[in-house]
Amino acid sequence: MTDPGQPVVTMTLGELAELVRDVVRAELGAREVDGAVEPMLTTADAAEALQVHEATVRKWIRAGELEAKNFGSALRIRRDSLEEFMRRGTRGSEAA
User: How many angstroms separate the CA atoms of 6 and 46, rounded?
Assistant: 46
At residue 57, φ and ψ (nearest 5 deg) are -60, -45
Q: How many CA atoms lie within 13 A of 59 on its CB side?
A: 13
Task: Write the pLDDT tens digit of every residue in 23-53.
Answer: 766 665 555 555 666 678 999 999 999 999 9
Instruction: Delimit the domains of the chain by residue range.
Output: 13-88
pLDDT at 1 over 60: no
Q: For residue range 51-84, what is the model confidence (pLDDT) as tens digits?
A: 999 999 999 999 999 999 888 888 999 988 999 9
Is the pTM value of this prediction over 0.85?
A: no
Cα–Cα distances in angstroms (integers) from residue 55 to residues 25, 26, 45, 52, 58, in the given order: 26, 26, 12, 8, 5
> For residue 20, what pLDDT band results from cuts at 50, 70 and 90?
confident
CATH architecture of residue range(s) 13-88:
Orthogonal Bundle (1.10)
